[in-house]
Amino acid sequence: MTAGSPLRRAVPPSTVARLPVYLRALDELAAQGVARTSSGELAELAGVGSAQLRRDLSFLGSHGVRGVGYDVEHLQAQVAAELGMTGDLPVVIVGIGNLGHALANYVVDAGTGFRVAALVDADPRVVGTTVAGLVVEDDARLGEVVQREGATLAVLATPAAVAQEVCDRLVAAGVTGILTFVPRVLQVPADVDLRSVDLATELQILAFHARQRTLERG
């Protein structure tokens, strides 16, 4: 059963979602040569309350020193390790249209712990071209590519019509985490992690609040 490691408390999802922000703040401090920080300072940089930051970090274990604070380098390593950022994780990007193109460059440029392992597209006019320093490969070989690179993460930026089918093939090839930019509900098995980013959805949420503000005034 799952009674293997009774010592580790589970890190709640809401905390996991904030760890990347903390990691970035720690990277900044480290880059400035700051050796030690406090929950107040870090929280300020991360845009959260100091109590929340301390609570979040406490799920990773006790890495601070009471009355003193946190060692920047040590904490940086702990958070990075918790996020599985050891070495560069291979990511496959599927769908090299306008958006896929931009995302590929983004991942290549941002020196964060990911490596664009391959770019894949179904359009024969795109296959064979070089984007962000990689040659775009044929969608027909998707499974092959995923396995060749040992990729467990994929970014999906295809047209909506083919997204579910591509998604299924990614899962079949062994991908366990998918980040989709396609505005469509996708089905994945329970053991696969799906996160969705949707521009239209985000704008509509903003529109809701904009309207609330309008109503509150005259």
Partner DNA sequence: GACTGTGAACATATTCACAGCG
Partner DNA sequence: CGCTGTGAATATGTTCACAGTC
Residue ranges for the known binding site for NAD(+) are 95-100
Of 38 and 176, the one with the shorter C-beta distance to a copy of itself is: 176
β-partners of residue 115 are 90
Q: Which residues pair with 154 in a beta bridge?
A: 92, 178
Which one of the spans 33-41, 119-127, 162-170, 182-190 is the region binding a copy of itself (CB under 8 A)? 182-190
49's contact among DNA, a copy of itself, none, with CB below 5 to 8 A by partner kind, is: DNA
Closest contact distance (angstroms) between CB of 13 and DNA is 4
Instruction: Name which of DNA, a copy of itself, none residue 62 binds, using a CB cut-off of 5 to 8 Å depending on partner kind.
Output: DNA
Q: Is 177 in the site for a copy of itself (CB under 8 A)?
A: yes
The 10 Å Cβ neighbour count of residue 51 is: 10
141: partner contacted, choices a copy of itself, DNA, none (Cβ within 5-8 A by kind): none
* Segment (H or E) for 214: helix 199-216
> Residue 137 class from Cβ within 10 Å (0-12 exposed, 13-18 middle, 19+ buried)?
buried
CB of 71 to a copy of itself, least distance (A): 21
- C-alpha distances in Å from residue 153, one per residue of 25, 65, 209: 24, 36, 34
Please count the CA atoms within 13 angstroms of the CA of 122 that sit on its side-chain side: 11
Of residues 88-127, which lie at the interface with a copy of itself (CB under 8 A)? 89, 91, 97-99, 101-103, 105-107, 110, 112-114
- Which of residues 39 and 152 has its CB atom nearest to DNA in the complex? 39
